[in-house]
Amino acid sequence: MKKIKTKIKSVSNMKQITKALEVVATVKLQKVKKQTENYRDFMTDFLKMMNVVRTKINILNTNNPDPKGRRLIIVMSSDKGLCGNLNSRLFKHIFQKYNDIKDNVDVFCIGKKTFEFFARADFNVVWYVNLTDDVSEDDLKDVYSHIMDGIANDKYWKIKVYFNYFKNTITQVPLRFKVYPLDQDSFDGFVRDIGLDLEDLMTDELDYKDLIVEPDMKFFKQEMLRQFTQHMIYGAALQNKAGEFASRMLAMKNAKDNATDMIKDLKLSFNKARQSLITQEVTEIMSAKMAIEG
């Protein structure tokens, strides 16, 4: 009985902790979810503008880079655990794809869990940054700088970003998109992955207007691709953070519910043990009384 009582107290404390973590994750999710929705509206307008521009100016890459060149993958994860299998699903997919060629792959880690996994798997980790709960573009400036330097120096022939896309509160989907070289397929794939329809980006507002490119075409293309890359990565960071909070909220809710069920079972076992002890004491008293009278 004493052991059961101690266990009930321990599980009750755990229930209180998981309940508190669930509430915290719910509050943070609502905040970042609103931020993600606002950024989605901005990204829709930006993609619409870029889609119009690329119909008049070839800003996408049409070259065929060397497939034997070095690759860079940017992987986003949570800094903390207790969020179910959110990170493990993404890591498993990346490990299966790149483990055989990891000597030719650089990994830029965003999030503590990413760094721990790829360092343990003996990948070449080139940089590591943390993301705060209030994601800002300042948190990602090292990522932007590393990508731009790699492209300018022709260090990488392909750059991809891996993250968890926040589809809804229950579903988070591991996704990837290619930021370099940015071609037609990668542009259209990114639009579809974030839940937009290519027809939504069509507009005739500039069909009969001239576009003035300043200061020159080369700088304009570089600036457009730079902004597009940064917007994609920042949007992915918001999606990943929303997915983290949603996954943690559900994981803590399940843990709380399991603790509640466990407490019920323990209380039932405790009552059975107490009833058994009472029955035993009554039997002993009756046996002693019968022995005295007999």
Which residues make Cβ contacts (< 8 Å) with residue 144, sequence separation at least 6? Answer: 226, 229, 230, 233
Position 75 scores a pLDDT of 93
Euclidean distance between CA atoms 172 and 29, whole angstroms:
13
Q: How far is CA 37 from CA 22, 42, 161, 164, in A?
A: 22, 9, 20, 16
Q: Give the alpha-carbon dihedral of 31, 33, 36, 41, to 10 degrees.
A: -110
Over residues 45-51, mean pLDDT = 78
Cα–Cα distances in angstroms (integers) from residue 170 to residues 10, 82, 247, 250, in the given order: 29, 15, 7, 8
49 pLDDT higher than 80? no
Query: 61 falls in which pLDDT band (50, 70, 90)?
Result: low
Q: Phi and psi of 152, rounded to 5°? A: -65, -35
pLDDT for the residue 197: 67
- Strand-pairing partners, residue 251, are none
- In sign, the C-alpha dihedral spanning 158, 163, 167, 171 is positive
Residue range 63-107, pLDDT digits in tens: 555 666 789 999 998 888 888 788 888 899 899 989 888 888 999
Give the number of residues written for the chain.
Answer: 294
Of residues 62 and 232, more confidence is placed in 232
Structural element, H or E, at residue 101 = none
For 114-136, what is the mean pLDDT?
Answer: 88
Quick one: average pLDDT of 18-41?
87
> What is the pLDDT at residue 86?
84
Tell which residue, 184, 179, 169, has the closest CA to residue 235: 179
Whole-structure pTM value: 0.81
State pLDDT tens for residues 190-217.
777 666 666 666 666 655 567 777 787 7
Instruction: Give the pLDDT mean for 22-26.
Output: 90
Q: Is the dihedral angle over the CA atoms 201, 204, 206, 207 positive or is it negative?
A: positive
* Domains of the chain with CATH codes: 2-22+250-293 (1.10.287.80), 25-248 (3.40.1380.10)
Average pLDDT (233-243) is 88
Structure tokens at 66: 């060397």
Q: In what order do the strands lie in the sheet with 105-110?
A: 124-129, 105-110, 71-76, 158-166, 172-180
Q: Name the one residue in this structure whose structure tokens are 């049409």.
A: 62
Sign of CA dihedral 94, 98, 99, 105: negative
Q: Are 8 and 266 in contact (CB under 8 A)?
A: yes
Identify which of 77, 85, 153, 88 has the alpha carbon closest to the alpha carbon of residue 115.
77
The pLDDT of residue 200: 64
Cα–Cα–Cα angle for 184, 193, 152, nearest 5°?
50
Q: Quickly count: other Cβ atoms within 10 Å of residue 242's Cβ.
A: 27
Q: Could you give the CA distance from residue 180 to residue 158 in angstroms, rounded to a whole number? A: 5
3-state percent helix, strand, coil for the chain, nearest multiple of 5: 65, 10, 25
What single DSSP character describes residue 102? G
Q: For residue 186, what pLDDT is reported?
A: 75
